[in-house]
Structures are given as structure tokens and as C-alpha cells.
Amino acid sequence: MTDLQVARRKLNTDSLAFVIVKDGVVLRFGTREGVGELIQAADALGDAARGAALADKIAGKAVAMIARAARIRAVYSPLVSQAARDTLAIDHIALEYDRLVPLILNKRNDGPCPMERLTFPIDDPRQAVNALRDFVHARAQTA
């Protein structure tokens, strides 16, 4: 079984938000909505994430930028945005998905997800992750 298959199976059977697998071993997984926990996991793994596979519940451009910055080699998601697909293709990151949508919507379904909107104009993965980190931190301060 490939790393991506292991990650996909764990994501679905354990109802997780994301799973990172390398060499058949689950390195990290998350249970919370949003990208904050994924950023923390990628930061904690550092170079160990290079070449790993990521399965994420919803993959918009924000998740794709985190994957690129972490040097993930394969991504699976049941729901992927066009921007995520295009972003992953830049670094030739393998992508498997069940459904491709024009963009990831916010919870009210009346516009783009805030993370998707934040990363739209950013091309550099590290810059995107820094912007996402700042956004998550600011949001946590007001919660």
C-alpha cells in the first residue's frame, strides 16, 4: 500500500481533518477544521515531511501551498479546488480527489473560504504559509 493510500484510508476511517504519512508510518494527523493544525504539523515535522503523502478533508489553495512549502509529494482530498490542483501541479505533486470544484466556499456558501481568498494572489508557498500563519494567529487572539 502506498503512503497516499494509507493516508487516505486513515482520513476516512478515523474521520480526521488531515493525515501525513511517510514510509508507511503516520507522522501526524489532525482533527480540527481549518489549516492551523496542518501548519503546526508541517512546522513540527520540518524536513521529515519532505516526500510524505497528505490526505486532507478539504484541499483548497491554502492546503496546496502548505503541501508545496513542506515538500509533500502526493495529496488526496475528497474535495479539491481548481486553484489547489493548479498550485500542486507547479511542483508536480501527485493529486487524487473525488470532486473538483471551482473554489472552496465559506461556511455560508456565499463566497470563497477566507483561506482560499487569502492565498489567491500569492504564488510563493513560504509567503502563503506565513500569511496563513498570521491569519490563524490573529483569529485565535480574537476567539
**CATH ID of 3-142, from 3.90.420.10, 3.40.140.30, 3.40.30.10, 3.30.1330.20:** 3.40.140.30
- Quote the pLDDT of residue 89: 98
Reference 18, options 3, 43, 2, 35; nearest CA is 35
- Quote the pLDDT of residue 143: 67
58-59/94-101 β-pairing:
unpaired
Domain map of the chain by residue range?
Answer: 3-142
Q: Which residues of the chain have pLDDT under 50?
A: none
Angle between helix axes 82-90 and 61-70 (nearest 10 degrees) is 20
- Indicate the DSSP class of residue 48: G
**Number of neighbouring beta carbons within 10 Å of residue 13:** 8
Q: Is the dihedral angle over the CA atoms 98, 83, 135, 71 positive or is it negative?
A: positive
